[in-house]
Amino acid sequence: MLLTGTVRNVIDFGAFVDIGVKHDGLVHISQLSDKYVKNPSEIVSVGDIVKVKVLSIDKDRQKVSLTMKM
């Protein structure tokens, strides 16, 4: 599923993206780009509008895993 979301927070291991559900989804640093990323701030910053794809949904832990690799 492809979605458009807004980056809410950038952290050492990735970025949280608001995709319109109760909890923000996480784009892990390994899923930000096809190339090596040392710091997520190199790719995204808070407020950016990004296209993401849902990798998995963990209903029990209320977590959504996303990727920006297309």
pLDDT digit string (tens) for 3-41? 999 999 999 999 999 999 999 999 999 999 999 999 999
Q: Which fold has domain 2-67?
A: OB fold (Dihydrolipoamide Acetyltransferase, E2P) (2.40.50)
Q: What residue ranges do the domains of the chain occupy?
A: 2-67
What average pLDDT score do residues 55-64 get?
95
Q: Has residue 70 got a pLDDT over 90?
A: no
Distance CA 7, CA 51 (A): 10
| Per-position DSSP letters for 37-66, written without gaps between them | -S-GGGT--TT-EEEEEEEEEETTTTEEEE
Question: What is this structure's pTM?
Answer: 0.92
Is 44 within 8 Å of 50 (Cβ atoms)? Answer: yes
